[in-house]
Amino acid sequence: MIISWFRQNQREFGTTLAAWLLWRVAWRRARVLAANRLLPANRECPCCGWTGRRFLDYIEVGYTARNIACPRCDSHSRHRALFLWLKDTYKLSEKKGTALIVAPERSLAPLWSAAPNLRIYKTDFEPNRGVDVLADVMHLPFASNTIDLVWCHHVLEQVEDDSLAMREFCRVLNSSAAELVISAGLSGQPGTREFGFSNKKLSGNRRAYGEADFEARLAAAGFEVTAVTHDLSVDDCRKYGINPETFFRCRKRD
């Protein structure tokens, strides 16, 4: 895994930058693992049950975030927050119907497996991610009005025509009771900044969404949109390594 990660960085940024990145990741990882061996645990991952002193740092070219990734399941803050929301608030295990999971997150897999009455289609456009349906979100291979839940997080910022993908989500949803649960990386600015290309230095993103604008785009695609913030205490946020971010529950407008 680390070799393919290095080779991908080598292809995109050259050998010197890829080697520097590898050294930085190895050094930071060694420090965190030492802290986890020597110091008492005060962090916990709700997705896999790992406990320790620090999460791993997340390092890309031009970007470093400290104390982010679970050493066991690689969950990040938003995965852990969504895991708790799906389990405790949404009551996923009690849901029935059909769910479409776009770009499924590995750390949430145990939750989806524990929903026995939910028929689940995992979809992605890359074949090596263990999905059920190879598909582009701009052209979903599902009939209209057939899906009860679409789950899509931090995907649309990488999609060429995000408005088309939103309309596709609206088309496949079954009724006004069905819903799209979605989030994206929001810049904190009011408006969306379009790059016009896939920016390799920003995880391949094609745009940086403004918070109000992302919600407005969902509404323009045919949704009633409700913004949701996680209801977690300060102590839980610290314990689970969560920096709460807004996500959106969207139902088809009648």
Are 30 and 21 in contact by the 8 Å Cβ rule? The answer is: no
- Least gap, CB of 45 to Zn ion (angstroms): 3
- Name the phi and psi angles at 187, rounded to 5: -85, -15
Judged by beta carbon, residue 15 or residue 51, the one nearer Zn ion is: 51
Handedness of CA 84, 88, 93, 99 (dihedral sign): negative
- Least gap, CB of 80 to Zn ion (angstroms): 8
Give residues 57-76 in contact with Zn ion (rule: CB under 5 A). Answer: 70, 72-73, 75
Contact segment (CB under 5 A) with Zn ion among 50-58, 118-126, 128-136, 214-222 equals 50-58
Determine if 47 is a binding residue for Zn ion (CB under 5 A): yes
One of 6, 13, 20, 50 touching Zn ion (CB under 5 A) = 50
Handedness of CA 235, 236, 237, 239 (dihedral sign): positive
Determine if 45 is a binding residue for Zn ion (CB under 5 A): yes
Q: Residue 153 carries which side chain, given as an amino acid letter?
A: H
- Least gap, CB of 158 to Zn ion (angstroms): 24
Count residues near Zn ion (CB under 5 A): 8
Q: Interface mask (CB under 5 A) for Zn ion, residues 92-131, using x and -?
A: ----------------------------------------
Determine if 164 is a binding residue for Zn ion (CB under 5 A): no
- Least gap, CB of 57 to Zn ion (angstroms): 15
Judged by beta carbon, residue 42 or residue 189, the one nearer Zn ion is: 42
Q: Residue 230 carries which side chain, given as an amino acid letter?
A: H
- Least gap, CB of 236 to Zn ion (angstroms): 15
Site for Zn ion, rule CB under 5 A: 45, 47-48, 50, 70, 72-73, 75
